[in-house]
């Protein structure tokens, strides 16, 4: 048996002779005891000789190294093992590297020289010039075993090398096989360069570049220089490879977001929007994805401009999807930082899309304004509505106006341009000639939001427009929706002019429709109306004999206004058979004929006596008795006491100011009548009368109440008490002609 010294000499001789067969023969014959006793440096010297044999026969050197490491690697000097790895890598003998990796006992890993391992991984990456597939496979094998013991700087550089060489499989091999414990120690700058190199490869292999980017960032975004991440996004965006942009966005760790450069993100977003010219759907999807992740960290000015870009495109027929992608995905915290002027331009451009996509434009306007009106230059909001109004009913322009009106933040109202709003209101009102019902609804909606900020002259004009068109529902829509704070801003002359148009409708429309409208107008606006026009309106009503309308106005004429009416007007009243009281507590006894009496103000006591009388209490708590004949009794404002007397009398119930007591209502067929026509003007019979008028018994009396909209949404208001009468059925009275609506 040879001694240990002899075995050591034999190994040294075989190494010096580069006799691979002899080396294998010796190590394979060693006993465990001999392996343990031979000097590790002798094994090391032999192994380095095997590695150097690569220059003669790379394959034999590799196989010999594998067998050697398998047999005696555990007893070999670790520095020599490290050196042998380096030699194989230096000579690009990837088979040798793999033979070493596959046969190195894991117990040795921690003893290996890190710097040598670093040189190995670098050498493998450079071998990609000659053997790309081999370099990738070897990288995978090496790092899956040894990444935890290899200096992170070299791993980082290997990735950068693969990216620079365009070998993305190599990048993936490094990424996928580096132990996660190493990630925090990798070189941030090198990782950034690697990512940039991956993105540049999209010129040649887009799909692979996208997939590699996703893989890289899903593992390493938290450790990559932020500039490299934004640079990669920009590179993909510049090439129009939106899938690459998405790959970056979708795989960045959210902890990285605040470190990204706001301006660079803004440029990327702009480049994404530019891609809409050749890939509209892709640009929209990429924009939505980008902003849903990164809007909070992106230059707000760029976001604003991208919104303008998409909006301007929509005004030339492009899809509104891009606009919506921006609006719907901006973090609300960004809103205050957006550019008001740019937002205004975007809003104006969106309105232009009505010519191509009415429904889409209207929906987008609503969405835009509901989110961004508070941050948009108010002058653009006003002017956009005004421009839409100039289109009349074309292309859904009026519906677009309402989409804006209904979604403006109320804080914006005071900043809107009063004159522009007035033009819009006028345009809405003038649409009455093409769409009466639509005009009424739109004007009501508009004024319920904006009456306090709209040019008062236009409000008065809208009343006039509806009156001229004979659409009294429109007049009421205006009157009912003016903010009371705006009453004093209205011009008395313009209001008066509008009032005269309503009064003139008495010649062509139903008297009670006119009466109800004038009563509504007078209740709210007569105090602000020019007295000359009040007189003109009263004269018109007297000439036409519309006594209900005349009474409705006189209910609200004040003592001062009455005193200022001309003597000629007052002197003309007897010519129409009309007697007017005073603003004191008057007592009036009828003439015995058919009297027409208006009590004006005060708590009056009126007795018509004989004849078919028309008796109006007007303001005050009046007592009115019809006496004999078929009389018409209208208590006016206040809680009045009405007694019809003999005959079939009509009791007018036309306001909500006080509950009138009717002392002797006769419910029998052919008996007395309840007249609510002034309260329910325009009733078309499409709903049951019982939806509007209710009756219930209380203490031996019957209470009549009125539901203005017939929906039951609000509480019905009591308007009359029928003293001593029970068993009232509204439908029966209506069927017998004893309820007029």
* In-domain check, residue 466: no
Distance between CA 539 and CA 560 in Å, rounded?
18
Q: What is the extent of the structural domain holding 607?
A: 572-740
Beta-bridge mates of residue 630: none
Q: List all residues 6 or more positions away from 416 whose beta carbon is below 8 Å from its beta carbon.
A: 378, 381, 382, 408, 450, 453
> Which pairs with CB-CB distance under 8 Å and at least 24 residues apart come from 446-451?
446/401, 446/402, 446/405, 446/481, 447/477, 447/478, 447/481, 447/482, 447/483, 448/481, 449/405, 449/406, 449/408, 449/410, 449/413, 450/405, 450/413, 450/416, 450/421, 450/425, 451/481, 451/482, 451/483, 451/486
Beta-bridge mates of residue 722: 662, 702
Distance between CA 332 and CA 9 in Å, rounded?
80
* In-domain check, residue 200: no
Point out the domain boundary residue: 112, 146, 178. 112
Count CB-CB contacts under 10 A for residue 450.
23
The pLDDT assigned to 686 comes to 81
Q: Which two tokens stand for residue 332?
A: 């609300």
The answer to whether residues 691 and 711 touch, using CB atoms and an 8 Å cutoff, is yes
Rg of the Cα atoms in the chain:
47
The pLDDT assigned to 81 comes to 96
Q: What angle do CA 324, 326, 329 make, to 5 degrees?
A: 100
* In-domain check, residue 336: no
Instruction: Characterise 654 by phi-psi region: left (phi > 0), alpha (psi -120 to 50), beta (else).
Output: alpha
- Return the H-helix or E-strand segment holding 661: strand 660-662
The pLDDT assigned to 713 comes to 56
Point out the domain boundary residue: 112, 142, 177. 112
Nearest to 94 by CA among 134, 136, 39, 65: 134
The pLDDT assigned to 317 comes to 73
* In-domain check, residue 19: yes
The pLDDT assigned to 714 comes to 60
* In-domain check, residue 622: yes
Distance between CA 247 and CA 231 in Å, rounded?
13
* In-domain check, residue 346: no
Model pTM score: 0.83
DSSP 386-415: HHHHTTTTGGGHHHHHHHHHTTS-GGGGGG
* In-domain check, residue 272: no
Q: List all residues 6 or more positions away from 120 whose beta carbon is below 8 Å from its beta carbon.
A: 85, 86, 88, 89, 97, 142, 150
* In-domain check, residue 551: no
Q: What is the largest CA-CA distance in the chain?
A: 160
The answer to whether residues 191 and 225 touch, using CB atoms and an 8 Å cutoff, is yes
Number of domains within the chain: 2
The pLDDT assigned to 687 comes to 87
The pLDDT assigned to 244 comes to 97
Q: How far is CA 231 from CA 225, 276, 507, in A?
A: 10, 21, 77
DSSP 355-366: GT-HHHHHHHHH
Point out the domain boundary residue: 56, 88, 112. 112
Domain containing 591 — which CATH number? 2.150.10.10
Q: What is the mean pLDDT of each run of 10 residues along the chain (741 residues)?
A: 94 96 96 96 97 96 97 96 96 96 96 96 93 96 97 96 94 97 96 96 94 98 97 96 97 98 97 92 96 98 96 83 96 98 97 92 97 98 95 88 98 98 96 95 98 96 94 96 94 93 89 92 96 97 95 96 96 96 95 94 96 96 96 95 97 85 96 90 78 93 89 78 95 95 87
Distance between CA 601 and CA 583 in Å, rounded?
4
């Amino acid at each position: 048996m040879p001694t240990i010294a002899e075995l050591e000499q034999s190994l040294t001789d075989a190494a010096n002779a580069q006799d691979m067969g002899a080396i294998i023969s010796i190590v394979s014959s060693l006993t465990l005891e001999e392996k343990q006793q031979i000097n590790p440096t002798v094994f090391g010297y032999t192994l380095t000789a095997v590695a150097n044999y690569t220059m003669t026969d790379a394959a034999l050197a590799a196989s010999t190294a594998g067998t050697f490491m398998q047999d005696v690697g555990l007893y070999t000097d670790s520095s020599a093992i490290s050196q042998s790895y380096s030699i194989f890598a230096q000579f690009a003998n990837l088979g040798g590297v793999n033979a070493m990796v596959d046969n190195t006992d894991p117990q040795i890993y921690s003893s290996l020289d890190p710097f040598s391992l670093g040189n190995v991984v670098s050498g493998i990456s450079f071998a990609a010039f000659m053997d790309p597939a081999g370099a990738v496979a070897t990288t995978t094998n090496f790092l899956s075993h040894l990444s935890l013991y290899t200096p992170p700087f070299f791993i980082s550089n290997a990735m950068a090398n693969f990216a620079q060489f365009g070998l993305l499989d190599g990048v993936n091999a490094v990424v996928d096989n580096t132990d996660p414990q190493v990630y925090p120690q990798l070189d941030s700058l090198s990782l950034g360069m690697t990512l940039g190199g991956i993105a540049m490869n999209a010129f040649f292999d887009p799909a692979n570049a996208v997939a590699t980017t996703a893989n890289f960032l899903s593992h390493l975004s938290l450790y990559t220089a932020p500039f490299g991440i934004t640079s990669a996004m920009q590179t993909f965006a510049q090439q129009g490879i939106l899938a690459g942009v998405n790959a970056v966005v979708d795989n960045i760790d959210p902890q990285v977001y605040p470190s990204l450069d706001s301006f660079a993100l803004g440029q990327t977003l702009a480049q994404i929007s530019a891609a809409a010219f050749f890939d509209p759907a892709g640009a929209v999807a990429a924009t939505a994805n980008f902003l849903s992740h990164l809007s909070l960290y992106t230059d707000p000015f760029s976001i604003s401009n991208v919104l303008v870009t998409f909006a301007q495109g929509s005004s030339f027929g492009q899809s509104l999807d891009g606009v919506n992608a921006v609006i719907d995905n901006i973090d609300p915290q960004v809103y205050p930082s957006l550019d008001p002027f740019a937002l205004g331009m975007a809003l104006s451009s969106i309105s232009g899309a009505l010519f191509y996509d009415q429904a889409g434009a209207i929906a987008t306007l609503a969405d835009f304004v509901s989110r961004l009106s508070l941050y948009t230059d108010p002058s653009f909001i006003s002017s956009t509505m005004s421009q839409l109004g100039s289109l009349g009913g074309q292309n859904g322009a009026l519906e677009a106006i309402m989409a804006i009106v209904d979604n403006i933040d109320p804080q914006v109202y005071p900043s809107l341009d009063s004159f522009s709003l007035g033009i819009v209101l006028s345009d809405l009102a003038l649409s009455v000639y093409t769409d009466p019902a639509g005009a009424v609804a739109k004007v009501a909606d508009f004024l319920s939001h904006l009456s306090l900020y709209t040019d008062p002259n236009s409000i008065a004009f809208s009343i006039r427009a509806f009156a001229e068109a004979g659409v009294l529902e429109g007049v009421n829509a205006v009157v009912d929706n003016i903010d009371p704070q705006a009453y004093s801003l209205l011009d008395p002359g313009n209001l008066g002019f509008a009032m005269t148009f309503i009064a003139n409708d008495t010649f062509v429309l139903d008297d009670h429709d006119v009466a109800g409208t004038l009563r509504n107008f007078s209740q709210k606006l007569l105090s602000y109306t020019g007295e000359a026009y009040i007189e003109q309106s009263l004269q018109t009503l007297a000439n036409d004999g519309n006594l209900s309308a005349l009474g409705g106005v006189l209910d609200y004429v004040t003592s001062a206004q009455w005193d200022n009416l001309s003597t000629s007007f007052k002197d003309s009243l007897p010519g129409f058979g009309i007697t007017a009281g005073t603003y004191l507590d008057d007592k009036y006894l009828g003439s015995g004929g058919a009297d027409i009496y208006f009590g004006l103000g005060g708590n009056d006591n009126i007795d018509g006596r004989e004849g078919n009388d028309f008796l109006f209490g007007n303001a005050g708590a009046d007592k009115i008795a019809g006496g004999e004949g078929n009389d018409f009794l209208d208590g006016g404002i206040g809680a009045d006491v009405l007694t019809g007397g003999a005959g079939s009398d009509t009791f007018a119930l036309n306001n909500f100011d006080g509950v009138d007591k009717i002392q002797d209502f006769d419910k029998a067929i052919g008996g007395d009548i309840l007249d609510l026509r002034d309260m329910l003007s325009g009733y078309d019979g499409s709903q049951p009368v019982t939806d509007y008028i209710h009756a219930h018994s209380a203490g031996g009396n019957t209470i009549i109440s009125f539901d203005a909209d017939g929906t039951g949404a609000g509480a019905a208001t009591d308007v009359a008490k029928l003293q001593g009468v029970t068993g009232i059925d509204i439908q029966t009275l209506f069927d017998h002609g004893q309820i007029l609506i």
